[in-house]
Structure 1
Amino acid sequence: MFVVTTNDVPGYRVTRVLGEVMGLTVRSANFGQNFTAGFRALGGGEMPEYTKVIYESRWEVMHRMWAEAQQRGANAVIAMRFDSGSIGAFTEFCAYGTAVVIEPLDAGQAQPPAPGQPPAPGQPPAAVQPPAAVQLPPQP
């Protein structure tokens, strides 16, 4: 499955548009993370407790978006974006894009990845390509 932030995939043409797909989650850090991060904030710098929550949240919403695209029969998601916002003490994360079916422009090129099983937690989809593709970070 291709997941790209561009409106097209170089070397491929869009043959069907299946609509917007998204993944959504609302998260908060646990008490221990908030407590530790509060002390780190006094000294400045990165707060790994919150970075971990954000990495996990982005992975989760990417996975949910990818799964919804698979269910619709897509082999690519184009124009993928992230969004986030606050709801009280919680943070909402969303990944969204357009589910499409693509095929190579040249019949001699390899076929795009067929729909398959979702990746294991912390693992990006096996065929996330080309260079403009979104690379999922390893799950801490």
Structure 2
Amino acid sequence: MLLTTTNTVEGKRIVEYKGLVSGETIIGANFIKDFFAGIRDIVGGRSGSYERVLNEAKNTSISEMAERAKNMGANAIIGIDLDYETLGQGNGMLMVTASGTAVILAD
């Protein structure tokens, strides 16, 4: 499955548009991570625990979207967009949504 943020694929022709596909992930960050991230913010540096959670949520959303496209008979997704939102009380949840257009590319 080819995944791209562009609306075309160089050297390939789109022969059929299958439709919009998306994948969503909502993941929580626990209080220990919040505590250590707060300390990291005070002393500077990157928060590795948050980066890992964010990466996991992104990858899960993309995988879910790709599986849906595969089930539609597509061999590629073009125009992929990733959106990130915080949800819940105290913004304790992270939602990542991946969306794009499932297509069939000629070989």
- State TM-score, norm by structure 2: 0.92
CA distance in 2 between partners of 1:69 and 1:79 (Å): 13
Instruction: For structure 2, list consecutive stretches of 5 or more residues without a partner in the other structure.
Output: none
How far is 1:31 from its partner? 2.2
How far is 1:21 from its partner? 0.4
Matched to 2:39, the amino acid is F
| Correspondence list, 1:1-140, <5 A | 1-88=1-88, 89=91, 90-104=93-107
What is the SS of the residue equivalent to 2:13? strand
- State TM-score, norm by structure 1: 0.71
**For residues 9-47 of structure 1, what are the alpha-carbon distances to aligned partners after superposition, in whole Å with 9 as ceiling and x for unaligned?**
111111110111011011121222112112111112211
Matched to 2:86, the amino acid is S
CA distance in 2 between partners of 1:37 and 1:85 (Å): 18
Matched to 1:69, the amino acid is A
How far is 1:67 from its partner? 0.4
CA distance in 1 between partners of 2:98 and 2:46 (Å): 24
**For residues 117-139 of structure 1, what are the alpha-carbon distances to aligned partners after superposition, in whole Å with 9 as ceiling and x for unaligned?**
xxxxxxxxxxxxxxxxxxxxxxx
* Matched length: 104
What is the SS of the residue equivalent to 1:11? coil
What is the SS of the residue equivalent to 1:33? helix
Matched to 1:73, the amino acid is G
More helix by share: 2
CA distance in 2 between partners of 1:29 and 1:91 (Å): 8
More strand by share: 2
